[in-house]
Structure formats: structure tokens, C-alpha cells
Amino acid sequence: MKNMKSMKNIKYGAVVLSLIVLISSCAKVDSEFRTKSTSNKLRTLMVTFADGTGGYKPDEAEPYPANLTIEIPWYYPDGSLTQTSLDSLFLTATLPNSAYMSPALGIQNLTSAKVFTVTAQNGAQNKYTITAVRKRSSKTDIKSFKLNEANIDGVIINNKVIIPYTAVDISHQTATVELAYYAKISPDPTVARDYTHPVAFTVTADDGTTVVDTVRIGIPVKVAQGFASVKKLWSKSAGDLQFVDYQNISIAVSGDYFVLPFSNEWDGGSAAKYYDKKTGNYAGDLNVTGIGGLYAVANDSKGNIVGINNIYAGDNVRLFRWNNVTSAPQPLARSSDWSSVGSTFYGRKLSVFGDLDGDAVIMTTTDGAPMGGANRILRWTIKSGVLVSQDPESMVYPKDWGYVAKAVPAGPKQTDNFFVCSNLPIFMDYINGSSNSLIASFSSNYLASMRDATPALTYFEFNTGKYTAIVDGGSYSSAMHIFNVTDPGKIPTPAGSTDAYKAFHVFDGESDYIACPSPNWNITAEVAVGPVSSNGFTMDVYFLTTNGGITVYELSCIDASKFN
């Protein structure tokens, strides 16, 4: 969003000019009123390879101790046999204002431990010894387990594989097993076995770690509501995904893939790629024929993709639809004029709830009033697979936001409630969809320690629970958190150690932040959710940080302590 950066430069330039005028008008500042910063703590350290691929954090959590260890995988990329080296690693981190690091970050040889000194403005020093170590994989995960002849998929629960009860004879079955990279399994699952009784397998990781997994008949049991566990499936850096600075601001999930637009409103044109959702590997280019200025994308509950153009496309407000990542785009909506957006920028955020072939609501926003925008929410409604109107409803929101806000439907009908998330200033509101009146707002201290902005809020439902995934964003790093909003009365709950807050703040992703080697000055990010698995036990959440990368989590509603 180049225009955003330009405005910031103008604003900061004005501040600097004002300070110069102020200082020049004063004879002298008395020394006893001069205060120099004492801040010298390192934050959000990340290490990549010299080409920007990979992305590794210290083993130690923040606030960092004096000695930090960075584990670098033995092989890279995952699944290859290409060995890594420690002699040319790229270090980035967040430093306090006015502090400096010696030696400077950037490309470093970490074949031996190295001492870095952070010096505050007042001269106070803080030393960090950073050690990088190559480490073979310790992963012993069974990712999937299938009985071939019976065509039955097992359900994986920690170190158990549950074969659902069946009338099919499973007394003589071979199995296909997908393991973590570099792991081995014994005995050989391709040899036929009797699975009417428990069968034990030993999985050995590349570093020699062993785990015994037992395959047995049973029925997994769900927790009463929501999810019971969160598992990180994978994480890819901006370098791994070949991000272009400031272009990757939205994400959609469709079938076995996720979609990333590469969008620049100031360059025009349209481009989007899709990636294998299991590995994060590039798989192809999305067909964008006939679309001018594709900006943001989102997905419905069935994996249909919706995209929106931007004002520089000069084609009124347009929505497009893809049934899957290999289909051609279909026109979905085109406004009759610019009145719905007040001729200002729109489409930085897009959200969908429901099924485009059934009932669904699609929402986007314009830029905010302080930036000369219209401060509007746009809403399209689909009933029984038919768009109600080519022109969206256009609502002026009573609170002002800056450039970026997101409106998120919490139901598939026109009168269903919705959320509004403002990046700057920070606020998150829950709105009555019938009256457009405020139901509840998140507390101003919904997190104990916050970054600079809230660039994304996504609403989803799982196992009868209702949730919002929210990004706590900054220029150098962002983290995702999940809140239980099943009871809207809990939405204003402030941060703290109370049982009420623990029940509200159900996933804390602070220690799993995504760092940005190239600063994300616009502070943009997004969250997307994939459909619930066919067995109803899992769903995936995709956390994107512009200039930073993507992390994918699997939510599971299986009670690991029970099965029948």
C-alpha cells in the first residue's frame, strides 16, 4: 500500500519539521530535564538463510536471557537431503528506539557462538551470546494411516491410531503410512497384519528419538464444545513463499490448496498463486483472466473463492468467483456506480460467511474518514445461491478507522451479526446485524502486552463453539490469538489471570510470532480457515503476516484422554 507509506512519510516529516521549529525557538533545554532512554532489550529475533528462506527463532522465550540458542535443521528444504551450513545466516530482530547493536545484525557467520551488544541511548549495555546449532529432526509424527484393502483412514490421537469400528474384515490388511520427514517405521506396515487386535509400531526420528504408536479399533470422542488442542502443522517464511514486499495481504483456502494474491494497487494488473496446503509448496497460478486490479480474496465454507478489485481498476466495485484453484473466474457482482464506496479506496479486506451455492454474506470496507475515505462497510447477500443485488448495501460506520478495517459476517443471512476490526486506531466491535447497533466491544487491553495494531479478525465456528482469530500486529512481527466468543457477553473481558479470561483467551500465539525480515510498515496480516474435516474432528487455521510468512495450525476437538 504505497499510498499508506507516502502518507506516513508526510506525517513523520511534518512532525520532524515541527520539532525543528520548536527547538530553534528555545534558547536551551536545561540539562536536568534531559532524559535518555535506558531501553536495550532485544525482541523478535529470527534467523534465515542468506537467500531469505527458512525462519528460525531462539529456543528461549522473551524476555530473552543472555544466552540464546538457534536450532537450524540438518537438511533444508524439508524433505530434501541438502545439508545446511552455519557460516552465512541472516539475523533480524526488533531493537528499542535510539538503541543500536554491535556488531550489526544481517549476514553473520555463526559456526561459533557470537556476542552481540545492545546499547541504549544512555549508554547502558545488554549483551547476548547467540549460538547456532545444526540439529537432525526429532519428529516422530504419523501424519496419516490408511488400511489399504478396507479403504479406511485411521484417526491419529497423540501416540494412538484409531481405526473406526467397521463391518469390513480387517484381519489381513496392508497399510499406507505418511511419516514426518526423515522418520522410519518398524515393523513394515506394507506387510499384511491382523488389525482386529492392537498393533504396535515404532517410529524412529532422524536424530534417533523413538516413539511407540499403537493402532487399535475404537471411536474417537469429541469434547463437549470447541477444540481441545492446537497443533502447528508447518511454518514458512516470506523467503520460502517468495513473497514480494507489501503484496501479500490476503489468503483463501480451497480444496487441497491456499491462494495468495500478489497485489499492488499502484502497479495495476492482477496476479495470484496457489500452494499445496500440506506443505506450503508452490503449485500453480490462479487464472485471473479478465480481472483488473485483483486485490483481496476470501473463501466460503465449501472452498469457493471470492476476489475483489480495487478502485484503480476503474470498473466499479466488482466481485469474482472461482469454484476451485484451477477454474476460470466468474463475474459475481458489479456495482452500477461508485456511490457505494464514495469514490474512495476499497477492498483491502474481504470476508465471507456461508456457502456461495446456498446462503452467504460477503463484506468489505472502504478506507477510513481520517484518511479521506468514506468509512463504509459494504455487504452483499446470497440467498439459495443467487446474489440478491449487484449493488452492495453501504453502511457508514459511526467510529472512524484509518486505512484498514475489516467487516466480518458471523452468519450467512443479511440480518446476522457481524464484527468490525480496525487496524489503527485499535478497536473490535460486535454488531447487531438487524439494527446495526453495538452489542459488545473487545477491551482496550484484550491482551496483556500489545503491539501496534490489529490488522485482522476472522470469525469461525467449530464443534458448536464460536471463535475469533485476531492478529496482534507490528512492523517487525505479528502473533495470532484465538478468543471464545460463544457467549458475546464475554467479549469485553480484559486480560488477566482470572478463570474468565483463560476461558475467553483460548489460544495464545505470542511465542509463535511471525517475524518480518523486511519491516511491514503498513502492518497488514490476515487469517483464513479451511473447512472442517469430513469426519468433523479437525479444521485448519492459516495465519499470514505481510513480509513475514505463513503459519498453519490444526485445531482438534478430539478428547485425547477418551475413546470408545
Alpha-carbon distance of 275 to 510, in angstroms, equals: 26
User: If residue 504 lies in a helix (H) or strand (E), which one and from where to where?
Assistant: helix 499-504
pLDDT bucket at 34, cuts 50 / 70 / 90: low
Q: Choose which CATH entry (1.10.287.130, 2.60.120.10, 3.40.50.2300, 2.60.40.2340) describes domain 37-135.
A: 2.60.40.2340
Alpha-carbon distance of 503 to 485, in angstroms, equals: 10
Whether residue 406 is predicted with pLDDT greater than 50 in this model: the reply is: yes
Bridge partners (DSSP) listed for residue 142: 179
Whether residue 17 is predicted with pLDDT greater than 90 in this model: the reply is: no
Alpha-carbon distance of 297 to 276, in angstroms, equals: 17
Range(s) for CATH 2.60.40.2340 in the chain? 37-135, 142-218
Where b means 16+ CB within 10 Å and e means fewer, 369-386 reads bebebbbbbbbbbbeeee
pLDDT bucket at 486, cuts 50 / 70 / 90: very high
pLDDT bucket at 31, cuts 50 / 70 / 90: low
Whether residue 15 is predicted with pLDDT greater than 50 in this model: the reply is: no
Q: Taking residues 77-82, report their average pLDDT.
A: 96
Whether residue 28 is predicted with pLDDT greater than 70 in this model: the reply is: no
CA distances from 355 to 483, 526, 535 (A): 24, 21, 19
CB-based contact 172:192 (threshold 8 Å): yes
Whether residue 135 is predicted with pLDDT greater than 70 in this model: the reply is: yes
Whether residue 449 is predicted with pLDDT greater than 60 in this model: the reply is: yes
Give per-residue pLDDT as tens, 523-561: 999 999 999 999 999 999 999 999 999 999 999 999 998
Bridge partners (DSSP) listed for residue 308: 296, 319
Give per-residue pLDDT as tens, 349-372: 999 999 999 999 999 999 999 999
Alpha-carbon distance of 46 to 54, in angstroms, equals: 10
Q: Taking residues 326-343, report their average pLDDT.
A: 97
pLDDT at 62: 92
Cell of 420: 468490525
Query: SS3 of 177, please?
Result: strand
Query: Would you give the end-to-end CA distance of the chain in angstroms?
Result: 53
pLDDT at 365: 98
Nearest residue to 483 (alpha-carbon basis) of 463, 462, 508:
508
Better pLDDT: 375 or 15: 375
Phi and psi angles of residue 163, each rounded to the nearest 5 degrees, phi first? -95, 115
pLDDT bucket at 263, cuts 50 / 70 / 90: confident
Q: Taking residues 104-118, report their average pLDDT.
A: 97
User: If residue 230 lies in a helix (H) or strand (E), which one and from where to where?
Assistant: strand 229-237
CB-based contact 510:234 (threshold 8 Å): no
Q: Taking residues 335-346, report their average pLDDT.
A: 96
* Contacts of range 256-264, beta carbons closer than 8 Å, 24 or more positions apart: 257/283, 257/325, 258/528, 258/530, 258/542, 258/550, 259/286, 259/297, 259/299, 259/305, 259/325, 260/544, 261/294, 261/295, 261/296, 261/297, 261/307, 263/294, 263/295, 263/296, 263/310, 264/2
pLDDT at 205: 98
pLDDT bucket at 194, cuts 50 / 70 / 90: very high
Topology classification of domain 142-218: Immunoglobulin-like (2.60.40)
Whether residue 2 is predicted with pLDDT greater than 50 in this model: the reply is: no
Which residues, 6+ apart, have CB-to-CB distance to 467 below 8 Å?
Answer: 226, 459, 460, 461, 482, 483, 484, 485, 486, 506
Range(s) for CATH 2.120.10.30 in the chain? 229-563
CA distances from 296 to 249, 272, 348, 349, 399 (A): 7, 10, 6, 6, 23
Phi and psi angles of residue 394, each rounded to the nearest 5 degrees, phi first? -125, 115
pLDDT bucket at 22, cuts 50 / 70 / 90: very low
Class of domain 229-563: mainly beta
Whether residue 75 is predicted with pLDDT greater than 70 in this model: the reply is: yes
pLDDT at 11: 34
Alpha-carbon distance of 539 to 530, in angstroms, equals: 6
Whether residue 393 is predicted with pLDDT greater than 50 in this model: the reply is: yes
Give per-residue pLDDT as tens, 276-314: 999 999 999 999 999 999 999 999 999 999 999 999 999
The overall average pLDDT reported for the chain is 93
Radius of gyration of the chain (CA): 25
Bridge partners (DSSP) listed for residue 127: 117
Where b means 16+ CB within 10 Å and e means fewer, 116-139 reads bebbbbeeeebebebbbeeeebeb
- Note the pTM of the prediction, 2 decimals: 0.92
DSSP-derived letter for residue 413 is S
The maximal CA–CA distance of the chain, rounded, in angstroms, is 93
